Structure 1
Amino acid sequence: MNKLWQSYLDSYRGLSQPTWILALVMLINRSGAMVIPFLGVYMTSKLGFELKEAGIALSCFGVGAIMGSLCGGWLTDKIGHYLTQSISLFLSVPVFFMLPLFTSFESLCAAIIVLSFITEIFRPANSASVSYYAKPENLTRAFSLNRMALNLGFSIGPALGGFLAGYSYSLLFYVNGTMVGLAGIVFLFYFRGKKGNDALLTNQATVKTQQPANKSAYRDVKYIFFTLFLTIYATCFFQLFNSLPIFYKQVHLLNEINIGYILAFSGLIVFGLEMIVVHLAEANLTIRQNMVFGTALCGAAFVVLIAPLGVPILYVSMFLLCISEILVMPFSSTIGVNRSSSENRGSYMALNALAFSIAHVFSPLFSTTIAENYGFNTLWIVTGVLIALASLGFFVLMKKM
């Protein structure tokens, strides 16, 4: 027990102050993250959309996210990660406030595209910012700390959102926008003119991967295939935000408050375990092993939902999904940073973000279509097959990388 506790403390040592402030900004931002987890439930129960219509509307988030990721990567390389993140945070606020005004299918789809475009500009710039301020030897843990803050916020946001939704769905949008604005204020004032560790990180990464310093990610064939397999993983994982809440509502008959509890549970698990799991994984497993094993756990998380064991199996599934997330996502970011330099890091982080943005398009479409036509059990089986293909892809490709 003492050894485990020492490992837990070691996982936090050496992280720079800017890394902690970036995590604080992420915590504030994600503590207001109430809209996306409840968007599917909002459309089907409040606005009366059909399941297929809700799936299309949720896919519109991915359409905007793809454009936002590419634009965010370009802006990061052109004007820097500081300005790019500031623009994204402050432009997001009025869009969140106006979203309840759009109640028709067409207008809501258009509003979701605009919202996701602006919010996803933030993602590649934020990843570049983490790598800029992190010490090279703590890079993966810096990403993990940032994600840990994200998940703590995600445990707060949906839990609070479940209560607010029971009173008024409009409050979800107003509180979400307010928290994003507060995160923007903290970020703007702390990071203005702040210097980082990018020169040292770039030198180490170039030697480690033997990549040309100015090679674009869009010409790195191996990394493009890596992004493809990451997209398959993310497409399955993102059912957390679309088909899973609907599954909880329609099959297990849970109300918004109980759905919020399960989503909050996921955030607490990642918050409590991420740093120690990543620390132990770095010490005992290769990045390749983490990616393969973590991806496989995602498939298991969905396949177990076939078991007719009531609400407890929902928590077992969510726990497996959390461990999968811990093992895959921070290490996938590290791979992109290690193959890039300060001149092209925006393009690598954009491709990394693009994988998740494309998943936002396909995940709700494929999941709601299969669930509506063939049932949720078939959806979980198909998800397991796709994850098996992604795991095999990482196993073969990363051996060559």
Structure 2
Amino acid sequence: MLSIVMLINRSGSMVLPFLGVYMTDHLKFSLENTGIVLSFYGIGSVLGSWLGGFLTDKFGEYYIQSWSLFLSAPIFIIMPFFSSVDMMALLIFLQSAISDTFRPANSVAITKYARPENLTKAFSLNRMAINLGFSIGPALGGILSGISYNFLFVVNGIGAVTAGIIYVIFFRRRNKIFREKKKLEPTKTIEKTVTKSPYKDYPFLLYSFLCAVFAVCFFQFFNTIPLFYKDVAKLDQSTIGFILGYSGFIIVLLEMPLVSLAERVLKIPQILSIGIIMSGVSYLLLLFGSNIPLLLLSMSILSIAEIWVLPFMSTVTALRAERGNKGAYMGLNGIAFSFSFIFTPFLGTYVVSHFGFDSLWIGSFAILMVTAFLIFWITKKMIK
């Protein structure tokens, strides 16, 4: 049911891939101003990830997920009424901060309801729901934005409210039962006081930094790749939406089989490093042209890379955490990914503006190769 809620919520998440196009095409922002505004999404995401981890450990994942879903909807609704750089930056910051308190709480809920031996598969199932939502969302978003960008924001708000209502209906009683059970186990609360802080876990801090470096390169998916499709490949919004939606379809189709295969034949450090290398290769392919078959091949490789990186990164975080600080660990790792939303739009648009798309793809490939080696080393050390 957590995955169904995520599916409904993410099916409405069609604004993010089109924010860059919306601001350059509809609001007539410059590329650099667009990058700066999108960076405020990352700043809000950092705050939301930290706050979500802190509040989840304090109040429980049920309340944080509920309030995050309901409070993010009004901001989506009012966003089309503002067209200045300052107001867009403020609204995107607020929306991101509220929405991203959801992520650590959702990850903790997965660790609560999933059996330990099925943890990676549980994260994969949840991500499969996210990607099915993203395959629906951008495709629908491309169609709606061709009619009016306002529809994007309205549907996002409706999606968040719908997901919130379903979540509360299904999990309110289960959360109450769980809290009553905890009251009957007073001795276990003593154990929770002896827990390490993720901010003093130095191997995990390095691991999270490397996750952030990977994410800065990977999440060009939401920013510079749509701009590349529009400005270089000369695709219309509907085609852009369908290519982005194709990525979600590939992940939904292949994630569970590929995760199961990887778990049988490889160890986590190997899986992560192979996935990161594949991400670099997917960007390198964009040097050789912008025709549709090449774009689909690049997106296919990037999608398979995502399958072999993101769920296993969450698994490493969950395994590293202890009983009383899962929210803090998930929050810190979420912050690492959130930093990418600060730097990716600004760095990506800056490099494109001054050096061109080819320099961006070559630089991303080089950084990802180094990251693959380092994350193999630190993950192997942490798991050992």
TM-score (norm 1): 0.90
**In 2: Cα distance, 1:197 partner to 1:54 partner:** 45
Instruction: Tell me by how many angstroms 1:399 deviates.
Output: 2.5
Q: Is the 8 A contact 2:269 2:377 kept in 1?
A: no
**In 2: Cα distance, 1:213 partner to 1:281 partner:** 35
Q: 2:376 aligns to what?
A: 395
Instruction: Tell me by how many angstroms 1:342 deviates.
Output: 2.7
Q: 1:107 aligns to what?
A: 87
**In 2: Cα distance, 1:385 partner to 1:365 partner:** 19
Q: 1:13 aligns to what?
A: none
Counterpart pick for 1:79 among 31, 37, 59: 59
**In 1: Cα distance, 2:60 partner to 2:330 partner:** 13
The answer for unaligned runs of 5 or more in structure 2 is 182-192
**Superposition map of 1:251-330 within 5 A:** 251-308=232-289, 310-330=291-311
**In 2: Cα distance, 1:158 partner to 1:99 partner:** 18
Counterpart pick for 1:163 among 143, 146, 165: 143
Task: Verify: 1:369 aligned to 2:350, yes or no.
Answer: yes
**In 2: Cα distance, 1:330 partner to 1:191 partner:** 24
Counterpart pick for 1:238 among 210, 216, 219: 219
The answer for unaligned runs of 5 or more in structure 1 is 1-20, 200-211
Q: 1:135 aligns to what?
A: 115
Q: 1:117 aligns to what?
A: 97
Task: Verify: 1:41 aligned to 2:24, yes or no.
Answer: no
Letter of the structure 2 residue corresponding to residue 60 of structure 1: F
**In 2: Cα distance, 1:308 partner to 1:219 partner:** 46
Q: 1:249 aligns to what?
A: 230
The count of corresponding residues between Structure 1 and Structure 2 is 370
> What is the identity percentage for the equivalent residue pairs of Structure 1 and Structure 2?
47
**In 1: Cα distance, 2:360 partner to 2:336 partner:** 21
Q: Is the 8 A contact 2:233 2:290 kept in 1?
A: no
**In 1: Cα distance, 2:32 partner to 2:290 partner:** 28
**In 1: Cα distance, 2:362 partner to 2:223 partner:** 17
Letter of the structure 1 residue corresponding to residue 305 of structure 2: S
* SS at structure 1 position matched to 2:321: coil
**In 2: Cα distance, 1:396 partner to 1:330 partner:** 18
Q: Deviations over 1:158-202 (max 9, x none)?
A: 100111001110010000110110000111111114269999xxx
**In 1: Cα distance, 2:234 partner to 2:133 partner:** 26
Q: Is the 8 A contact 1:91 1:118 kept in 2?
A: yes
* SS at structure 2 position matched to 1:192: helix
Q: 1:178 aligns to what?
A: 158
Q: Deviations over 1:80-99 (max 9, x none)?
A: 11101111000011111011
Q: Is the 8 A contact 1:44 1:50 kept in 2?
A: yes
**RMSD (Å), alpha carbons:** 1.6
Q: 1:216 aligns to what?
A: 197
Q: Is the 8 A contact 1:133 1:197 kept in 2?
A: no
